[in-house]
Structures are given as C-alpha cells and as structure tokens.
Amino acid sequence: MIRTARYPTASDCRERLPSLSWLSLRWGRTVISVGVVLLICFISLGFSSRLHELYSSTMARMENMESGMDTLELRVVEMDAKMNVDSIRQYNIDKITSIFENNRELSIREKYKIADEIYEASRKYEDLSVELICATISQESGRGWRTNRISPAGAMGLMQLMP
C-alpha cells in the first residue's frame, strides 16, 4: 500500500509544540515598554527644544534689558553731573549775592548778573576762585560793592579798573 503523505494540520502542530502564550505575552510587554520609552523620548525632545527656545528668547530679552539699563544708568550719571554743576553754580551765586546784599542801589536782577559774571570768570580762569574775586571787589569798591564808585585816579567799577 502506498502511503500518501499527510501534511500536518494546525492542531497537530499545536499538540507537538509547547504553549507559546507566555512568549507572546513577554514580547507584547517588551513592545509596549519600548513604545512608551520612545514616546517619552519624543515628548522630551520636543519639550527640550521648546525649553531651549524659551531660554534663548529670555536671554535675548535680558541682554536687551541690560543694554537699556546701561543707557539709563548713563543718563542718570549725566543728569546727576548736570545737577551737581547747577547746585555748585547756585551755591556760589548765593554766596556772592549774600556778600553785597546790603547794597540797596542794586536790584535783585543786577545782583544776580554780577554774581553770575563772577562765577563764570572763576570757571573760565581756573586760578581765580570765587572767593578771591569777591575779596578783590570788596577791597576795591567797599563792603557795599558800589558799582558807581570812581577812585581819585579815575578807576571805575567794582574792581576799580582804569578805563
């Protein structure tokens, strides 16, 4: 009798092989774990790139703010210097006008003009202080700083200059 070859059926294979359910369960967990890890990696990459963008934009803003602060500090220093010069000027003018405040012949405006001229002369000629100029005027024209005083030699004005 001739035997015909019989091909194994699926049930025959199942009977011969041990159960593979534990293997498919293990591979399923591994695939899910790898998928979760990959998902976390992609999310963290996206998050880190966004975080880098935020960091870069924040640093750019801070640099702009620092340059703005430098400009602002420079302006404050300039204003402080101007205020200092103005306060020194006003202090000297007040000091000068207090010297000849007893002079009733001069108006307040004339007194201010004289004080301003004395202050400007002391700034123009560094060796001449306001005090030296005022002392010279007091010596030459008297304590009242009389502007119309004329000496017997013909010298005129506060410092008794010859024409």
β partners of residue 156? 150, 161
Q: Length of the chain in residues, anyone?
A: 163
pTM: 0.48
Residue ranges of the domains in the chain? 46-163
For 45-95, how does the pLDDT look when each residue is reduced to its tens digit (9 = 90+)? 777 778 888 888 888 888 888 888 888 888 888 887 777 777 888 888 888
Residues 50-64, buried b or exposed e (16+ Cβ, 10 A)? eeeeeeeeeeeeeee
